[in-house]
Amino acid sequence: MKGKNSAGFFALVISIIAIPFIITNDYYIGVLVFAAFNCLACIGLCLLMGYAGQISIGHGAFVAIGAYTSGILTSKLAWSPWLAMLCGVLIVIVVAFSLGIPALRLKGHYLAMATLGFASIVHIVAVAAVDLTGGPSGIVNIPRLDLFGYVLNSDTQYYYFSWSVVALAVFIAFNLVNSRVGRGLQAIHGSEDAASSLGINITSYKVQIFILSAVFSSISGSLYAYYMNYIDPGPFGVMHSVLLVTMVAVGGLHNIWGALIGAIALSLLPEFLSFLSDYLQVLGIHYQPDYDTLVYGSILLIIMLFLPEGIFDGLASTLRGSKSFYGKLAGRRTGRVQ
């Protein structure tokens, strides 16, 4: 990591540490824990979408596989949560590998539909395989996670733990982006033909990054299961996969910070809207949580139409624009020619 990114990383760590001192209500800390799970999945998805240029509307399925593997192994077979999480990761690697090899030969719309179809299948299995997954009733009594024998009981403890995982993921992602693999990926995004003529093994790169992003999602699913202590198919529908793509796209596809910002912003949006609903009530508008979907959709559409690079890049380029504008002004005043 270098320059701006390490400064950003430092800022991230500081805010992670500081926030529980400012926000003390357990409920809001809980909301931030959920945001951490989404961040984790979105970092992986951003590597795939932004850096390798491959769309996946199926990452909710990997979250589901991670969550269900953890849930089933810990609650029915009394495995240790860590071992179950590892097992979830291994299963996801196998699934992502066997899905990725044929799927990543497809492009654009086909890949999108294939991954969407995959996500639907996983959801259907979660609902229908009653003996394994508990069906619509789900799995209760999933244990909490322990850290060196110390059980993470409170929301604040879980907050620190899950955000540390996010920080670690950010660190890994940046190292990856600046490695040989990362440059290869960007080459693929630019032009696959050119990249392959330079001797980059496209398929292998794409499959590797697909697997890595799936693993991020799987871990996020496992952490979710240990935090909620309960899972059912409800949150793992196709809509969840779409939401993850939305978060990455809104924040900015081509930048990990963008994905992070998108994930945090959209995870906190329902809370913000419910805050706002009390004000809107005063204005005579009866806001209901039902409208959340509509707000999500509208934000996504507006961003895609007017800021296709996402909030992060959009703001950054606006900032750069104004900077160079002021720079030019300053330059003219002092008589220098730029």
Whichever of 19 and 125 has its CB closer to other proteins, that residue is: 125
Which positions touch other proteins (CB under 8 A)? 25-27, 30, 49, 53, 55, 57, 102-103, 105-110, 112-114, 116-118, 120-121, 124-125, 127-128, 130, 135-138, 140-141, 228-232, 234-235, 238-239, 242, 245-246, 249, 253, 272, 275-276, 278-279, 282, 289-291, 293-298, 300-301, 304-305, 308, 322
Quote the CA–CA distance of 328 and 276 in Å, as a whole number: 41
Which amino acid, residue 316? A
Whichever of 125 and 172 has its CB closer to other proteins, that residue is: 125
Element (H, E) at 77: none
Whichever of 165 and 231 has its CB closer to other proteins, that residue is: 231
What HEC string does 99-118 produce? HHHHHCCCCHHHHHHHHHHH
Least CB distance to other proteins at residue 168 (A): 26
Between CA 7 and CA 14, with CA 8 as vertex, the angle to 5 degrees is 90
Least CB distance to other proteins at residue 277 (A): 9
Least CB distance to other proteins at residue 129 (A): 8
Least CB distance to other proteins at residue 10 (A): 23
CB atoms near residue 330 (< 10 Å): 11
Least CB distance to other proteins at residue 209 (A): 16
Least CB distance to other proteins at residue 196 (A): 16
Least CB distance to other proteins at residue 268 (A): 10
SS3 200: coil
Who's near 283: CB < 8 A, 6+ residues apart? none
Whichever of 31 and 93 has its CB closer to other proteins, that residue is: 31
Whichever of 132 and 168 has its CB closer to other proteins, that residue is: 132
DSSP string, 139-189: B--PPPPEETTEE--SHHHHHHHHHHHHHHHHHHHHHHHTSHHHHHHHHHH
Element (H, E) at 237: none
* Closest among 129, 149, 158 to 64, alpha carbons compared: 129
Whichever of 308 and 327 has its CB closer to other proteins, that residue is: 308
| Residue ranges in 198-309 assigned as alpha helix (H) | 202-228, 238-251, 256-282, 292-306
Quote the CA–CA distance of 60 and 122 in Å, as a whole number: 9
Whichever of 42 and 228 has its CB closer to other proteins, that residue is: 228
